[in-house]
Amino acid sequence: MWQRHERVAVVDFETTGMGPGQGARATEVGIVLLEAGVEVARFAQLMRSDVPVPPFIERLTGITNAMLRKAAPAEEVMAQAAELTQGCPMVAHNASFDRGFWVAELARIGVDASATPFTCTVKLSRRLYPEAPNCKLGTLAGFHGLKFEGRAHRALADALVTSALWQRIGQDAANQLAPSLAGAPLSVDLLHRVQGVALAQWPKHAAAARRALLHTSLPGL
């Protein structure tokens, strides 16, 4: 189904707050590296930034300030993450959130990741699964029968279930877009363009979306 040798990195961050612009920092990163749809590597590390974790986030994630005091510095962890994912397009659930931390944390070590393409499984799910109750990761996991490996709201567990969701999205998008693909393998670029198709253009059988993909240059994130 997927193009041979095409790699994508599925990433998830746990953080101290909603965004770097509000002073929040990453506390944990989880990455699942896929090649042609097959997992080839995974990475997970707590990271120390010396920004305290609020009590409600400690309760949500189970990541405590005591745990982070023993963790490797954020700069060291992000250098490893950048090396693992070098040249890969990224996938995340609610990608604008994770992209913000990816760009901000890498900027601290002098890496400009602002041009890295991010594809969002929330945006894709809104187009492909309008019957789902909502597009929260836990809801979609239950909707598709996907199992968490470990505790939800920990970075690797969320990245793993997002990678499983990504695989399901690829399968369902390929089925809906089959006339446009004409037997060609699915690509990350195609799904990145699918997320840019307006919801109003994604009716049953995705006929209008197929036309848009064939004839329109669509914006990404």
Based on the structure, what is the number of domains in the chain? 1
Instruction: Detail the DSSP E strand segments found in the chain.
Output: 7-15, 26-35, 38-48, 72-73, 90-92, 118-120
Q: How far apart are CA 139 and CA 193, in angstroms?
A: 24
* Counts of helices then strands in the chain (DSSP H, E): 10, 6
Does residue 2 sit within a domain?
no
Q: Which of 47-56, 69-78, 204-213 has the lowest mean pLDDT?
A: 204-213
Structural domain of residue 162, as residue ranges?
7-215
Does residue 210 sit within a domain?
yes
Average the pLDDT over 84-112 and give the result.
97
Select, from the ranges 43-47, 173-177, 206-210, the one with the highest average predicted confidence (pLDDT): 43-47
Q: pTM of the prediction?
A: 0.90
Q: Which two tokens stand for residue 157?
A: 């567990």
Q: Which residues pair with 32 in a beta bridge?
A: 10, 42
At 205, the pLDDT band (50, 70, 90 cuts) reads very low
Q: How far apart are CA 12 and CA 85, in angstroms?
A: 13
Give the CA distances from residue 26 to residues 13, 96, 120, in Å, rounded to whole numbers and listed in that order: 6, 14, 19
Does residue 117 sit within a domain?
yes
Does residue 85 sit within a domain?
yes
**Are the beta carbons of 39 and 87 closer than 8 angstroms?**
no
Does residue 1 sit within a domain?
no
Does residue 220 sit within a domain?
no
Q: Which amino acid is at 202?
A: W
Give the tens place of pLDDT for each residue, 149-166. Answer: 888 999 999 999 999 999
Average the pLDDT over 84-92 and give the result.
96
For position 20, what pLDDT does the model report?
97
| 3-class DSSP state of 57 | helix
- CATH number of residue 48's parent domain: 3.30.420.10
Q: Which two tokens stand for residue 95?
A: 């990608």
For position 204, what pLDDT does the model report?
53
Does residue 55 sit within a domain?
yes
Does residue 134 sit within a domain?
yes
